[in-house]
Amino acid sequence: MDFSFLLDPYYINILLQGLLTTVVLAVVSVAFGTLIAIGIGLLRMMKSKVIRFIFGAYVEIIRGTPIVVQLIIFYSLFHVNVLLIGNYDLSPFIPGMFTLFINSSAYMAEVIRAGINSVDKGQWEASRSLGMTYTMTFWKIIFPQAIKNILPALGNEFVTLIKETSVLMYSGVAELTYQATMIKSQTYGFMESYLVAATFYFLLTYPTSQLMKRLERRLAKSDE
Amino acid sequence: MMNKELMIDVKNVSKVFKDGTVALDRVSLSVKKNEVVVLIGPSGSGKSTLLRTLNLLESPTEGEVYFEGVSLSDESTDINHLRQKMGMVFQGFHLFPHLTVLDNLRIAPVSLKKQTISEATITSELMLQKVGLSEKAKNYPSQLSGGQKQRIAIARSLTMSPDIILFDEPTSALDPEMVGEVLNVIRDLASQGMTMVIVTHEMQFAEEVADIVYVMDKGRIIESGSPEIIFHQPKTDRCKEFLKRVIEKK
């Protein structure tokens, strides 16, 4: 195996750019995905049957179809013209980010909904009987407990999302996998370029899952 | 005008659950200021449901509940505001597990802007003292025994300085050796003139602390009166039978 391309500043630059893009994609979609997921999770618990049905269907359809296919559909659906920020064209990002938001929010909405439902009904009653409003009870009593319950599942979702950013190579976003493919085609080092990419992904996912575990332990201190 | 001393007035309340179970069948009851009202009766007789209609955790399907002259079912009634004046203590404690004891006590008065954080801290510490658990302020609920949890739950309801406290079988989930400490706290409250409605299976305690006892069976109040009468000269056969059964069990 020949890893000598790792010594070439040209390839290092390509790889680091890909890594940076992947990190940005992951962070942005985790953040927005979680926010959208909380919204959808809440909407799925509304009294209105119509709203519950619509967002239930949303979750089922998104979870029941492959992310690559979704990406290609959204890609052909949105005809985004060149969108220059500085001298960087953001247009390929639009369908890609959209896919990641939609996809991660559907998975996380289920997790969040389950977390909210897992909080004992007595917690609602205790809080409401003190005179606290529904909204206050939700944000101060129920939600913090729900998040604690679902942190492991949420951590998994974050890790999955980091890996799934790789589908954006199909829409021409120069993220890590895309760059690895490019290096492969220039150096003919098939195995080597993807091994390097895999290592980089692992260097992102492993600290993430460790971080989530630490957060879990910190939040678990009230259970001691 | 309604009698000012009348804190709670329940008029012909019925509750039919969605599955058709009749939990309450035209129940009427009133609670005066400074009075301790105890509800007894076999399991499934509707005691807890009745108690829960008093602060609208359960909404009656028929009839009216008045609190300090205000109808709970009236559309203009702000139930959150009324609940601030009605403490509730549950069988399962329901302390907030993610908050320290002190924050369990402070969260309602602070969130509802009844008190500033420093005011709420002072009240909370006072209430912890009252239930004899000052040293637990920094602990989390999971570090407490059942009896301590329930005493904290009582302290939590007290921080809102309620006009009345509703107790829903406060000692039923406790190990026998912890029942006493909780009952003592309730006794103290009674001697300080706190208005209370208590659902309990502790007959001796009921007899000692109650001003009025209501006996329920199958969603109805079958007898009511002073503890002397209810426990020693019950009129109805069903009441006699119930009392015989619970006393035999002891």
**Which residue in chain B has the smallest CA separation from A220?**
B98
DSSP labels for chain B? ---TTEEEEEEEEEEE-TTS-EEEEEEEEEEETT-EEEEE-STTSSHHHHHHHHTTSS--SEEEEEETTEETTSTT--HHHHHTTEEEE-TT----TTS-HHHHHHHHHHHTTSS-HHHHHHHHHHHHHHTT-GGGTTS-GGGS-HHHHHHHHHHHHHTT--SEEEEESTTTTS-HHHHHHHHHHHHHHHHTT-EEEEE-S-HHHHHHH-SEEEEEETTEEEEEE-HHHHHHS--SHHHHHHHHHHHHH-
Distance between CA B123 and CA B120 in Å, rounded?
A: 5
Quick one: average pLDDT of B25-48?
A: 95
pLDDT digit string, tens, across residues A139-174 = 999 999 999 999 888 899 899 999 999 999 988 888
Task: Read off the tokens for B101.
Answer: 């004891």
Q: How far is A32 from chain B (nearest CA, A)?
A: 26
Cβ atoms of B89 and B165 within 8 Å: the answer is yes
ipTM of this predicted complex? 0.93
B90 touches chain A (CB under 8 A): yes
Cβ atoms of B138 and B101 within 8 Å: the answer is yes
A133 touches chain B (CB under 8 A): yes
The rounded mean pLDDT for chain B is 94
Return the number of CB contacts < 8 Å for A and B: 80
Split at pLDDT 50, 70, 90, the class of B1 is very low
Quick one: average pLDDT of A47-75?
A: 93
Q: How many CB atoms are closer than 10 A to CB B69?
A: 12
**Which residue in chain A has the smallest CA separation from B160?**
A130
pLDDT digit string, tens, across residues A101-114 = 999 999 999 999 99
A8 touches chain B (CB under 8 A): no
| pLDDT surpasses 60 at B2 | no
The phi, psi pair for A90, rounded to 5°, reads -90, -5
Chain A residues close to B142, C-beta within 8 Å: 222-224
Q: CA dist A36 to A22, A62, B234, Å? A: 20, 14, 62
A220 touches chain B (CB under 8 A): no
Query: Do the Cβ atoms of A126 and B94 come within 8 Å?
Result: yes
Query: Do the Cβ atoms of B95 and A132 come within 8 Å?
Result: no
Cβ atoms of B41 and B29 within 8 Å: the answer is no
**Which residue in chain B has the smallest CA separation from A145?**
B98
**Which residue in chain B has the smallest CA separation from A124?**
B94
| pLDDT surpasses 80 at B245 | yes
Split at pLDDT 50, 70, 90, the class of A67 is very high
Chain B residues close to A223, C-beta within 8 Å: 97, 140, 142
**H or E element at residue A84:** strand A84-85
pLDDT, residue A5, reads 86
**Which residue in chain A has the smallest CA separation from B138?**
A222
Query: Between vectors from CA B56 to CA A141 and to CA B197, what angle results, nearest 5°?
Result: 100
Query: Between vectors from CA B98 to CA B96 and to CA B103, what angle results, nearest 5°?
Result: 65
* Minimal Cβ distance to A129: which of B83, B100, B141: B83
Three-state secondary structure call for residue A85: strand
Chain B stretch 158-197, residues whose beta carbon is closer than 8 A to a beta carbon of chain A: 160, 166
**Residues pairing with B197 in the sheet:** B37, B166
pLDDT digit string, tens, across residues B154-184 = 999 999 999 999 999 999 999 999 999 999 9
Cβ atoms of B174 and B164 within 8 Å: the answer is no
Q: How far is A136 from chain B (nearest CA, A)?
A: 8
Chain A stretch 139-158, residues whose beta carbon is closer than 8 A to a beta carbon of chain B: 140-141, 144-145, 148
B80 touches chain A (CB under 8 A): yes
Global confidence as pTM:
0.85
Quick one: average pLDDT of B71-91?
A: 95
The phi, psi pair for B36, rounded to 5°, reads -110, 115
How would you classify the pairing of strands B212-217 and B36-40? parallel
Percent of chain B with pLDDT over 70: 98
| Residue A53, C-beta contacts closer than 8 angstroms, at least 6 positions apart | none
pLDDT digit string, tens, across residues B201-234 = 999 999 999 999 999 999 999 999 999 999 999 9
pLDDT digit string, tens, across residues A165-206 = 999 998 888 899 999 999 999 998 889 999 999 999 999 999
Query: Do the Cβ atoms of A132 and B96 come within 8 Å?
Result: no
pLDDT, residue B249, reads 65
Q: How far is A139 from chain B (nearest CA, A)?
A: 11
Query: Do the Cβ atoms of A126 and B95 come within 8 Å?
Result: yes
Distance between CA A153 and CA A147 in Å, rounded?
A: 10
DSSP code, position A137: I
Residue carrying the six token digits 């329920």? B216
**Which residue in chain B has the smallest CA separation from A135?**
B111
Q: How many CB atoms are closer than 10 A to CB A29?
A: 27
pLDDT, residue B4, reads 58
First vs last Cα of chain A: how many Å apart? 51
